[in-house]
Amino acid sequence: MGASFERRREPRPLLSRRIASGRGAMEQPNATGDQDVPLTLKFWLLVLLTGVGTGVFGIALMLLLFGVSDLAFGPGAGPEFQAAVLAASWPRRVVPLLVAGVVGGVGWYLLRRWTPGKRTDVDDTIWTGDGTLSFRRSAGTSVLSEIVVGLGASLGREAAPKLMGGVCGSLLGRWAGLSVPQRRLLVACGAGAGLAAVYNVPLGGALFTAEVLCGTIRLPVMLPALACSGVATLVAWAYLPSSATYAQIPDYPFHASVLVWALLAGPLVGVLASGFIRLIAWVDHHQAKGRWVLVAPLAAFGVLAGFGLFLPQLYGNGKDMAHDAFVGSGGLLLFGALFLFKPLLTCLCLGSGASGGLFTPTMSTGAVLGAFLGTAWSLLWPGAPVGAYAMIGAAAMIGAGMQAPLAALALVLELTHSGFALMVPMMAATLTATAVARYIDGYSIYSARLSAR
């Protein structure tokens, strides 16, 4: 039976004669056959085209995001968002968010009214659907998402390129007549590549595809995921930087106090992540609908603007907030306040009916939580820099939030181009946080937002 099963492997091996043991290559669990997703020459061509399309969409969406930020907060606000917000007068801080509320509210209301029933949920179409996404509604959602994030909404900028990467896979898959399983894999590759392109994390994007969207680390999944994320990242370099997204993060050394702290903090991060995920699920289920969408974003973004007058770090997706934590710029009270208010305001924006990502807000929440707990821990056991705790907290929160520890570790390393000396404590915290969150509930920031059946 083993011999016949090996001969039926797809693709068929070039060398038909087995090695001396007579054992099959597929006895290695990840080296499986293609099963219901044959990696044909046509499929590989579509993977490469999806990567190119995703990279182009990533560039276009980041051009829009940076252009809106520059218009709202002054030249250079795109790449240096927090500095521009800090330098702005209070009216210039408030008005962009109020504009975002009006534009987003009217835009989402009209979009949902004119495209009823059209699918724009990448996760849902991969896990339970047929790999089909609506181009019109997805494009409109993505444009509105980047506009409001560029104007300061507390949401992630990666949702739009993730969605449009999935749309590339969906359109090409339907055009080429792929089977439903093939189309799902192509959509997953495009979605992971969207994350990879805009954050310059090709490995993290591929692991996101495999671990989160496909739920398996098998060669027939990892190979196209790596190809698609690599191509999309390379294309995006035509406009986006090829350097680390979080620049100039010190290469923190290992310290015994950090390892002990990681073992203690990991379970706590898992508990808090579970609470955050439940809050996301609740606001998503009670999200503003119908004509309430016309006014709810204005109210939510107005509340954010009020908090932003005192804590401007709360504006935007949280990238600069996380960077400050990674370099240890801040104090105990500031980190504690940011940890408390960032997830609450992000959920408020989601509940208003706004569309946006959760990856960066989740990571930045973990970073400031790590910095907060690490600063307090340093009073008991000094010696390690605060930024080291922030990096570990970020990885643990992403791992628990996404229920994907491998992708979380790879993403933090690629985003910062640092942290290798912290790998053992980072693994310890991410492992325990993810395990505790899995034991408590098991939902992720993605599965918690799935619509009702």
Q: pLDDT tens across 43-79, in order?
A: 999 999 999 999 999 999 999 999 999 999 988 877 7
Does 197 score more than 70 pLDDT? yes
- pLDDT value at position 34? 86
Could you tell me how far CA 282 lies from the centroid of its own chain?
20
How far are the Cα atoms of 191, 241, 324 from residue 162, in angstroms, in the given order? 4, 18, 26
- Cα(394)–Cα(374) distance, integer angstroms: 12
Does 340 score more than 80 pLDDT? yes
Among residues of the chain, what percentage have pLDDT more than 70?
98
The residue ranking higher by pLDDT, 349 or 117, is: 349
Mean pLDDT across 303-331: 94
Going along the chain from its start, the domains and CATH numbers come out as: 41-236 (1.10.3080.10), 256-449 (1.10.3080.10)
Phi, psi of 12 (to 5 degrees): -65, 140
- Which distant-in-sequence residues (6+ apart) come within 8 Å of 36 by Cβ? 179, 181
* Residue from 214, 175, 162, 198 nearest 46 by CA: 175
Beta bridge partners of 156: 357
Mean pLDDT across 110-117: 87
Does 1 score more than 60 pLDDT? no
Q: Look up residue 140 and give its two tokens.
A: 């409109």
Does 22 score more than 80 pLDDT? no
- Which distant-in-sequence residues (6+ apart) come within 8 Å of 403 by Cβ? 212, 434, 437, 438, 442, 443, 444, 447
- pLDDT value at position 240? 95
Mean pLDDT across 284-297: 91
Three-class SS of 37-95: CCCCHHHHHHHHHHHHHHHHHHHHHHHHHHHHHHHHHCCCCCCCHHHHHHHCCHHHHHH
- pLDDT value at position 453? 67
Mean pLDDT across 413-435: 97
Q: Which band of pLDDT confidence, cut at 50, 70 and 90, is reported for residue 8?
A: low
- pLDDT value at position 86? 85
Q: Look up residue 128 and give its two tokens.
A: 């339970």
Kindly report the average pLDDT of the chain as a whole number. Answer: 93
Q: Are 324 and 83 in contact (CB under 8 A)?
A: no
- With H, G, I as helix, E, B as strand and everything else as coil, classify residue 357: strand
Q: Are 162 and 84 in contact (CB under 8 A)?
A: no
